[in-house]
Amino acid sequence: MTIKIFTSEQEAARAVGECVNSFVRANPRAVLGLATGSTPLPLYAEMAKACAAGVDYSGVTTFNLDEYLGVPPDSEHSYRYFMEKNLFSQININPANTFVPDGTATDPERACAEYEQRIRDAGGIDIQILGIGGNGHIGFNEPPSAFDSRTRIVNLTAQTIQDNSRFFSSPEEVPRQAISMGVATILDAKRIILISYGRAKAEALRGAIEGSPDPMNPASALQGHPQVNFYLDEASASALTKQHKTN
Ligand code: GLP
């Protein structure tokens, strides 16, 4: 596990962007795991900039972590819509190679199993980008989430509904369920990069990095992964008690 602490979001995003873009340059058929939320937005801007400067995304495949259940892909609240707007339309990726769980699948259980299979068929995820919820969730793996969980339908906690209500006109409008890759699905990625900004994530990060692995803090499962890198701003790192490398 490595922990890098940056003085600004832009600096952190530039560093993660360099990792992702150089991986794509060296591996034109890279498979990337992607996240939604405010956190990855500066990274997506870096990827768009790199693509405009010649990094070729046409052979890249992407898998998103999650999607709201019952929300159609063309709804402005869907994570598919978010990804189209903030990344896919900004790079030369083949739309057929971008996968987001289908929140309107007629048989969601089956769609979850098929999503797992698609990831396997693609050869697995090379780099998984993660944010973190204030309660330690990764994707929508809310506490408690079993470390052997796979892509499935999950219930959102009251805190997540409240946190994500800023994207809706009221908390009542936030869907109560989602489809999310499981903790084990995430741990299958060859490399994991978790990005976090802001004080609101600091306690969850302390538990994830310094606590004992505990399903009540799903991000703590990352301690069992051989190649996980945390990219934090100072506020997110502020509750860490041990000595960590500053970039
Ligand atoms: C949502 C997503 C998570 C994300 C989290 C944090 O709940 N399902 O994948 O990490 O939000 O969001 P933000 O980056 O906006 O703080």
Q: What gap in Å lies between CA 14 and CA 21, rounded to an integer? A: 10
pLDDT (average), residues 208-218: 97
Q: What spatial distance separates the first Cα and last Cα of the chain, rounded to whole Å?
A: 15
202 lines ligand 1 (CB under 6 A): no
* Band of residue 212 on the pLDDT scale cut at 50, 70, 90: very high
pLDDT (average), residues 108-129: 98
pLDDT above 90: residue 233: yes
Output the CA 164–ligand 1 centroid distance in Å.
8
Instruction: Kindly give, in sequence order, each residue whose CB lies less than 8 Å from that of residue 175, ignoring residues fewer than 6 positions away.
Output: 68, 69, 70, 71, 77, 103, 156
pLDDT above 90: residue 138: yes
pLDDT (average), residues 91-99: 98
Tokens found for residue 195: 């990005």
What is the value of pTM for the model shown? 0.97
Q: What gap in Å lies between CA 179 and CA 243, rounded to an integer? A: 37
* Band of residue 242 on the pLDDT scale cut at 50, 70, 90: confident
143 lines ligand 1 (CB under 6 A): no
Output the CA 7–ligand 1 centroid distance in Å.
21
Query: What pLDDT was estimated at residue 198?
Result: 97
